[in-house]
Homo-oligomer: A and B are copies of this chain.
């Protein structure tokens, strides 16, 4: 299948993130209050209004609230119906073009909000190069991968309350830190604040018991880019024995557009080679991975954005479906609106690493940022993720996922 042509001409241009094939879902505001919208070219189709005036009929009003949760809850048949109806309205030669056209708004100038209400947030650790890099730095090359790593997708629960939409500034956190050569800890603004390049999977259907990998795949509604901001110095001191906590709780930024699973189906990819077969409950059920190109640009305050890494979601060792299946094994109820971060996606080469921790190798080999050495994030830095699945004549893009670092507040506990 090639490009689906739309009467919205910008959607047909090469390099556009939002052709008719995509139909990414956001919540936008053009000073009339936040509403559900669908990205098309450089425009947003006001889906809430299209539903309200009857051009979109999903059997029940699902877009009356400014979030896509109600559509998610309606289930996969409605997801497909929704895509068919929006496609029919926006396709080249669409009979209802004239009625639809007044409900398009430029993306530029619109305020984008979180596209869904996050029920709970889980962050995995499913990138093998990332786990190997971090393990090598923390525990040495001989013990880089934890013993369980090739057998289960390691993950930990995060904070849904800290998930923010692209563009939200991120305040450098305070926290307790202690380096190995210090005798006592101190309370300080983080000096090793970092990004993590991840893919976020959105659970669109609930479950009450264990689900298979194939079932889990069907439960996934869509995907976002995800930046799991990380305070490495706080993390190093706090993470034993119960895992990361405050180091990951300042913010997690997601891209403003949900790319639905169906849009990425043409870009499905096979699993990686496995040194050790997975147990049956986690076995690969098919081409559950995706070929999505990712890159990160870093723009220092007043400076020029520079691409500092390029990688691909094919570097994941566990698919989002395997992450979700594992998440359910103990009977953990999974809920519509749950967000699963993949873990940092690093490639094999130094220029494809998905965090400053890895790019600067724990600060030992700073990168060259417009001629200046840089180990971690500075105040005023803007970190920008881009991601797209790329076909010969179109691409399925996510739109930018960015955040700017604000300086730490004065000591919030000063007497």
A320 within 8 A of B: no
Report yes or no: A249 in contact with B332, Cβ–Cβ below 8 A.
yes
Taking CB atoms and an 8 Å cut-off, the chain A residues in 342-398 that contact chain B are: none
Residues of B within 8 A of A210 (CB): 174, 409, 412-413
Residue of B nearest to A139 (CB): B241
Identify which of residues 158-203 in chain A touch chain B, using a CB-to-CB cut-off of 8 Å.
Answer: 158-162, 171, 173-176, 178, 184-187
Q: Contact partner of A159 among B120, B135, B413, CB < 8 A?
A: B120
- How close is A134's CB to chain B, nearest CB, in angstroms? 9
Closest chain B residue to A125, Cβ basis = B242
Nearest residue, chain B, Cβ from A276:
B184
Find chain B residues with CB under 8 A from A157 CB: 156-159, 245
With contacts A161-B332, A249-B330 known, is A413 near B281, CB below 8 A?
yes
Q: Is the CB of B240 within 8 A of A330?
A: no
Q: Is A50 an interface residue (CB 8 A)?
A: no
Give the chain B neighbours of A244 by CB distance below 8 A: 242-243
Residues of B within 8 A of A178 (CB): 147-148, 151
A171 CB to closest chain B CB (Å) equals: 6
Give A241 Cβ to nearest chain B Cβ, in Å: 6
How many copies of the shown chain assemble into the complex?
2
Cα separation A335 to B175 with both chains bound (whole Å):
20
- CB neighbours of A187 from chain B (8 A): 279-281, 329
Residues from chain B with a CB closer than 8 A to the CB of A151 are: 176, 178, 184-185
Q: Quick check: A242 and B156 within 8 Å, CB to CB?
A: yes
Contact A331 B251, beta carbon cutoff 8 Å: yes
Most buried by B among A245, A326, A338, A415: A245
A171 to B209, CA, bound (A): 10
A33 CB to nearest B CB, Å:
22
Is there contact, CB below 8 Å, between A247 and B330? Answer: yes
Which candidate, A34-42, A76-84, A100-108, A231-239, is the interface stretch facing chain B? A231-239
Closest Cβ neighbor of A277 among chain B residues: B184
Q: Contact: A156 with B330, CB < 8 Å?
A: no
Complex Cα distance A209/B170, Å? Answer: 12
Given contacts A210-B174, A210-B413, contact A155 B280 (CB under 8 A): no
Does A148 lie within 8 Å of B333, measured CB to CB? no
A185 with B332: CB separation less than 8 A: no
Residues of B within 8 A of A334 (CB): 161
Of the candidates B175, B330, B412, the one whose C-beta lies within 8 Å of that of A209 is B412
Chain B residues with CB below 8 A from A413, complex form: 210, 212, 280-281
- The answer for the CA separation of A237 and B332 in the assembled complex, in Å, is 18
A10 touches B (CB below 8 Å):
no
Which one of A234, A240, A415 has the highest number of Cβ atoms from chain B below 10 Å of its Cβ? A240
| Given A148-B237, A174-B210; A155-B330 close (CB under 8 Å) | no
Q: Tell me which residues across on chain B come within 8 A of A184, comparing CB atoms.
A: 151, 276
Whether a CB of chain B sits under 8 angstroms from the CB of A246 is yes
- B162/A332 in contact, CB under 8 A: yes
A185 touches B148 (CB 8 A): yes
- Specify which chain B residues have a CB less than 8 angstroms from the CB of A238 in the assembled complex: 148, 152, 154
How far is A1 from B70 in the complex, measured between Cα atoms in Å? 51
* A59 vs chain B, min Cβ distance (A): 27
8 interchain residue pairs of minimum CB distance:
A243-B243, A249-B332, A157-B157, A281-B413, A173-B330, A246-B330, A210-B412, A156-B242
Q: A148-B238, A176-B279, A250-B332 are in contact. List 13 more A-B contacts (CB 8 A).
A: A138-B241, A151-B185, A152-B237, A154-B242, A156-B242, A173-B329, A174-B330, A187-B280, A187-B281, A242-B244, A246-B329, A249-B331, A250-B331
12 contacts between A and B (CB under 8 A): A120-B160, A148-B178, A151-B178, A155-B242, A156-B157, A156-B242, A161-B335, A175-B329, A209-B412, A239-B242, A241-B243, A281-B413
